[in-house]
Structure 1
Amino acid sequence: MKVKIHRLFEYLLETTQAAPEAIVGFSLAQSPKLGDFLDDLDPDMPLDWNNRDFSGLPELKDHILRQAGLTGHCSPADVLITAGAAEANYLAVMQLLQPDDEIVIERPGWPQAQVLAEAIGAKVVEVAREEHNDWRLPLDRLADAITPKTRMIFLTNPNNPTGDMLDASELEQIVAMADRVGAWLLVDEVYAGLEWDGPRAPSVAGMYARGITTGSVSKALGLQGLRTGWIICPDAGLIRDAVILRENASEIMNIMGEVIAEVALREARYDTALAQARADGQAHLAKLETWIAAQEGLEWVRPRAGLIGLGRLPQGIDSDAFVQFMLADPYRTFVLPGSAYGQPHHIRLGVGGGAGVKLEQGLNRLADGLRAYPKT
C-alpha cells in the first residue's frame, strides 16, 4: 500500500516557501494565543501522557459529547481523542476498508478518504454536488451509488469546501440508506458550530449503530495547532480497533493539546469563543459577498456554514495557473486552486484567520489580478 499525494497537499508543499503577504480563503477562525490559557494551566503538570485514560482525558470527552449534542446518546467510552480530525478519519478508514470494498464519497469534498481508499485498493464511488443546485448533496444519486458492496459512506457536514449543510431529515434518510446495506456512515464535522442558515445538525454517532462522528477544535475555535480531535462511535469494536491502530501511529495523545482543548471546550468558555467566531464570520462573509458582486465574471454560492466556499473564475481562467500568477510578484497573495477539490475552474474563497491573513489587502490584490490576468 502506498499513499499517493493529493493535489491539495501537493500545492501546499509547492508553495511553503512562497511567503505570501496576504491570504484569501483561510479556513479557520482566528487563533487564540497561548497566553489566553496560562491561568488555567498547571506549571507542575508532567509532560507525560495524561496517566488517567488511554483514550483521552475524561473531562475532555465529556465536553466533546456536550458540544456535539450527544450527552445521553453516547458515553465517554464511545469517544477516542486523536491527533485532529484527520487522524480520526484515518483510523476509521484504515481499519474498516479492505481491498475491493466500496466507499461512497461526495465531490467536492474533503479528499482524505479517497486518497486512503485508493491506497488500500478499495473502489471509490463519487456522488457529485453540482454548483447549479447550490452544491446540495443529491440524495437520489447517493441512494443509487450505495450497493451491497458499500462498506462506508464518507461525508462532511458542513461540507468542506462548499459550506453546504445537511439537516436532520436528510441525515435520517442517509442513515436509512446505510442501514439497508449495513454500511458505516462517517460524517466529518470539523466546521460544526459555524452554521448560518439553520441549526447545527445532529451528530450521526447518536443516530446509527454504525455512525461515526469525527471533529476537532481546529476550525470554529481556531486551535488547529493543538492537533486535537476525536472520533465518536457507539460500536465498541470500532473504537478498540482505532486505539490499536493509533498505538502503531501516534501512540498516545499530545498532553498539551488535550489539556488546552479541555479548557477551550469548557461550556462558558466555548460558548463565548464560538459566539465571537460566529460574529466575526458573519461580518466578514457579508463583506466578501459585496466584494464578489463587484468582480466581473466571478461567481459563488454563498456558504450556508463555515468560513469558505468555492468561487467560479471568469471564463477562460484555469485555477492552477491563476493561483501561481497571484502568488508571484506583484500580488504575493495565496489562494487555493479549486483543482484541489476536482473543480479546476474555481478557487477557494474564505474569511478565516483574523487580522494576520490581511484579508482586505488580499482581496484588493485579487481584484487587481483578476483584471490583469490574460484570458484565453
Structure 2
Amino acid sequence: MKVKIHTLFQYLLETTQSKPEAIVGFSLSQSPRLGDFLEELDPDLPLDWNNQNFSGLPELKGHVLRQAGLNGICAPKDVLITAGAAEANYLAIMQMLQPDDEIVLETPGWPQAEVLAKAIGAKVIKVTRVEADNWRLPLDQMAEAITPRTKMIFLSNPNNPTGDVLDETELREIVRMADRVGAWLLVDEVYAGLEWDGPRAPSVAGMYARGITTGSVSKALGMQGLRTGWIICPDAGLIHDAVILRENSSEIMNIMGEVIAEIALRPERYEQAMEKARREGSANLAQMNKWLAAQDELSWISPRAGLIGLGRLPDGIDSGPFARFLLGDPYRTFLLPGSAYDQPQHIRLGVGGGAGVNLEKGLSRLAQGLRDYPRS
C-alpha cells in the first residue's frame, strides 16, 4: 500500500514557509495558550502514558460522550482517544475497508477517506454536492450510490469545506440506507457545535450499531496542536481493532494532550470556550458576508455551520495559480485553492482565528488581487 499525496496537503507543504501577513481561510477558532491551563496542571504529572486505560484517560472519555450528547446512549468503552480526528478516521478506515470494497463519499468533502481508500485498493463512489442547490447532500443520489457492495460511507457533518449541515431527519435517512446493506457509516464531526442557523445534529454513534463518530479539540476549540481526538462507536470489535492498529502506529496517546484536553472539555470551561468560539466566528462571518455582498466578482453560499466555505471566483481565474499569486508580494495573503477539494473555480474562505488573522486586511488584499490578476 502506498499513500499518494493529496492536492490539499501538497499545497500546504509547498507554502508553509511563506509567512503571510493575513489569512483569508482560517479553519479553526483562535487558539488558547498553554498558560490558560497551568493552574490546573499537576507539575508532578509523570510524562509516561496515563497508566489507566489504553483506550484513553477515563475522565476525558466521559467528557467526549457528554459534549457529543451521548451520555446514557454510549458508554466509555465505546470511546477511543486518538491523535486527532485524522488518526480516528485513519484507524476506522484502515481496519474496516479492504481491497475491492466500495466506499461512498461526498464531494466536495474532507479528502482523507478518498486518499486512504485508493491506497487500500477500494473502489470510491462519489456523491456530488452542487453549489446551485446550496451544497446540500442529494439524498436521492446517495440512495442510488449505496448498494450491497458498499462497505463504508464517509461524511463530514458539518460538511468540510462547504459548511452545510445534515439535520437529524437526513441523518436517520442515511442510517436507514446504510443499515439496508450493513455498511459502516463514519461521520467526522470536527465542526460540531459551531452551527449558525440550527441545533447541533445528533451523533451517528448513538443512532446506528455500525455508526462511527469522530471528532477532536482541533477546530471549534482551536487546539489543533494537541493532536487529541476520538472515535465513538458502539461496536466493540471496531474499537478493539482500532486499538490494535494504533498500537502499531502511535501506540499510546501523549499524556499532555490527554490531560489538557480533559481540562478543556470540563463542562464549565467547554461551554465558555464554545461561547467564545461562536461569538468570534459569528462576528467574522458577518464581516465576511457583508464584504462579499459588496463584491461584483466573488460570491459564496454562506456556511450554515463551521468556520469555512467555498467562494466562487469569476470566469477565467483558476484557484491554484490565483492562490499563489495572492501569497506573493504585495498581497502576502494566504488562502486555500478550491482545487484542493476538486473545485478549481473556488477558493476556501474562512472566518476562524478571532482577530489575530487580520481578516479585514486579508479581504482588502483579496479584492485588490482580484482586480490585478491577469485573466485568461
Superposition misfits of 4+ residues, deviation over 4 angstroms: none
Distance of 2:239 and 2:175 partners within structure 1: 20
- Normalised to the residue count of structure 1, the TM-score between the two structures is 0.99
The aligned amino acid for 1:84 is: G
Q: Equivalents in 2 of 1:269, 1:263: separation in Å?
A: 8
Cα distance in structure 2, aligned partners of 1:213 and 1:146: 19
Q: Return the offset for 1:295.
A: 1.6
Partner in structure 2 of residue 139 of structure 1: 139
CA deviations on 1:50-107 (whole Å, 9 max, x unpaired) are 0011100101000000000000010000000000000000000000000000000000
Residue 234 of structure 1 deviates from its aligned partner by 0.2
- SS of the equivalent of 1:137 reads coil
Give the structure 2 partner of residue 342 of structure 1.
Answer: 342
Counterpart position of 1:124 = 124
Q: Offset at 1:283? A: 1.0
CA RMSD between the two structures: 0.6
1:185 counterpart SS class: strand
2:286 counterpart of 1:295: no
Report the more deviating stretch, 357-366 or 301-310. 357-366
Spell out the pairing of 1:247-262 with structure 2 (5 A cutoff): 247-262=247-262
Give, in angstroms, the shift of residue 195 of structure 1: 0.3
The count of aligned residue pairs is 376
Does the Cα contact within 8 Å between 2:284 and 2:354 map onto a contact in 1? no
> Residues 257-336 of structure 1 correspond to what in structure 2 (within 5 A)?
257-336=257-336
Aligned partner letter, 1:366: L
Residue correspondence of structure 1 range 1-376 to structure 2 within 5 A: 1-376=1-376
Q: Distance in 2 between matches of 1:65 and 1:176?
A: 23
Residues in 1 aligned to 2:208 and 2:176: alpha-carbon distance in whole angstroms: 9
C-alpha distance in 1 between matches for 2:132 and 2:89 = 29
Residue 354 of structure 1 and its aligned partner are, at CA, apart by 2.1
Alpha-carbon distance in structure 1 between the residues aligned to 2:325 and 2:189: 33
Which amino acid in the other structure matches residue 151 of structure 2?
Answer: R
Tell me, in whole angstroms, the C-alpha distance in 2 between the residues paired with 1:6 and 1:166. Answer: 26
How far apart are 1:175 and its partner, in Å?
0.2
**Could you state the TM-score of these two structures normalised by the residue count of structure 2?**
0.99
Alpha-carbon shift at residue 375 of structure 1 (Å) = 1.6
Matches of 1:146 and 1:55, distance apart in 2? 32
* Paired residues of 2:2 and 2:119 also in contact (CA < 8 A): yes
Whether the 8 Å CA contact 2:143–2:177 is kept in 1: the answer is yes
Following superposition, the deviation at residue 275 of structure 1 comes to 0.6
Q: Which amino acid aligns with 1:355?
A: A
* Partner AA of 1:93 in structure 2: I
Give the whole-Å Cα distance in 2 for the aligned partners of 1:355 and 1:286: 14
Q: 2: CA distance between counterparts of 1:332 and 1:11?
A: 16
**Partner SS, residue 154 of structure 2:** strand
Provide, for residues 232-266 of structure 1, a one-character-per-residue CA deviation record: whole Å limited to 9, x for no partner: 00000000000000000000001000000000000
Corresponding residue SS for 2:125 = strand
* 1:155, distance to aligned residue in structure 2 (A): 0.1
* 3-state secondary structure, aligned to 2:317: coil
- For the residues of structure 1 that align with 2:15 and 2:272, how far apart are their CA atoms? 35
Distance (whole Å) between structure 2 residues aligned to residue 11 and residue 148 of structure 1: 37
Distance, in Å, in 1 between the alignment partners of 2:82 and 2:298 is 39
Matches of 1:132 and 1:89, distance apart in 2? 30
Matching residue's letter, 2:130: E
Secondary structure of 1:349's partner? strand
Equivalent position SS for 2:162: coil
Q: Secondary structure at the match of 1:323?
A: helix
| 1:71 partner amino acid | N
Matched residue type, 2:312: R
